[in-house]
């Protein structure tokens, strides 16, 4: 893994979270057979980035309902980056190079008809109800579902030749209902197309009291960097 790859890994993870937070072009209602009485879950996963990078890393992904998403990714047994997103902020820490990104989400989230719970559900393949009128002008989002679980999502944006494509594998039964076995996101960026796939291991997930909430600490020795500078360096 060269110097550029960990940073691109961070950027594409953020793109992944942003892509699955789109609004649906039709009302989608939660299926009653999918229980939601959980507060915390930690799921082992493998995150793969396709061509042109071809990077993969093991990860633990933790959802705290109403609160946060935390992604801890490892390479060769070492934690290489940490992503922590709430309704207010997104923090991405590159531990290999002792640098981080910190972005406020409060303004953008306040304008959107979704919250951190919506992102958690979309990542897991669970349909959510978002009204058509909440879509920005020119944006459409088509969701396909079967048996109470999403199977695909296509997001079309103004001025973009190619849509964002999200596909789901599965289903996998958990103590709290069905979840997708994989979540694959294809994101066109300028003339390139990046793909991110999350392979979930729900069979080894821990729930509620079995999950300790991690306190995110950032050392003073870490340098804050600008996402736009990284994107420019990476050619995004």
Q: In this structure, how many other beta carbons lie within 10 angstroms of the beta carbon of residue 235? A: 11
Parallel/antiparallel/unpaired status of strands 149-156 and 140-146: antiparallel
State the pLDDT at residue 135.
67
Return the closest-CA partner of residue 13 out of 110, 65, 80, 104: 80
Q: How is 72-101 classified by DSSP, letter by letter?
A: EEEETTEEEEEEEEESSEEEEEETTTTEEE
State the pLDDT at residue 129.
66
Output the CA–CA distances (angstroms, integers) from residue 144 to 31, 179, 211, in the order listed: 14, 15, 32
Phi, psi of 157, rounded to the nearest 5 degrees: -120, 150
Rounded to two decimals, what is the model's pTM? 0.81
State the pLDDT at residue 25.
36
Q: Dihedral (C-alpha) 5, 8, 12, 15: value to the nearest 10 degrees?
A: 180
- How far is the C-alpha of 194 from the C-alpha of 11, rounded, in Å? 11
Neighbouring-strand partners of residue 140:
156
Mind listing the pLDDT tens digit of every residue in the chain (236 residues)? 444 444 444 444 444 444 444 433 334 444 444 455 899 999 999 998 886 678 888 999 999 998 999 999 888 888 888 999 888 888 888 888 888 888 887 666 555 656 788 889 989 999 876 665 666 677 777 889 998 899 998 888 777 778 888 899 989 999 999 999 999 988 877 777 788 899 999 999 999 999 998 888 888 899 998 876 665 545 55
């Amino acid at each position: 893994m060269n110097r550029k790859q960990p940073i691109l890994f961070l950027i594409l993870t953020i793109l992944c979270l942003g892509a699955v937070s789109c609004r649906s072009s039709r009302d989608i209602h939660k299926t009653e057979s999918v229980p939601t009485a959980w507060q915390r879950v930690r799921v082992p996963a493998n995150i793969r980035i396709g061509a042109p990078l071809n990077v993969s890393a093991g990860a633990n992904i933790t959802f705290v309902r109403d609160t946060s998403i935390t992604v801890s990714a490892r390479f060769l047994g070492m934690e290489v980056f940490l992503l922590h997103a709430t309704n207010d902020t997104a923090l991405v820490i590159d531990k290999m190079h002792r640098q981080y990104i910190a972005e406020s989400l409060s303004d953008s989230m306040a304008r959107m008809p979704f919250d951190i719970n919506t992102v958690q559900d979309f990542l897991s393949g669970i349909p959510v109800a978002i009204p058509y009128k909440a879509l920005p002008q020119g944006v459409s989002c088509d969701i396909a579902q079967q048996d109470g679980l999403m199977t695909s999502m296509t997001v079309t944006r103004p001025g973009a030749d190619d849509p964002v494509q999200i596909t789901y594998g599965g289903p996998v039964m958990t103590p709290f209902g069905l979840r997708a076995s994989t979540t694959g996101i294809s994101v066109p960026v300028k003339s390139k197309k990046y793909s991110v796939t999350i392979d979930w291991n729900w069979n080894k997930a821990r729930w509620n009291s079995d999950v300790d909430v991690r306190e995110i600490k950032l050392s003073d020795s870490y340098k804050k960097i600008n996402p736009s500078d990284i994107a420019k360096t990476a050619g995004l």
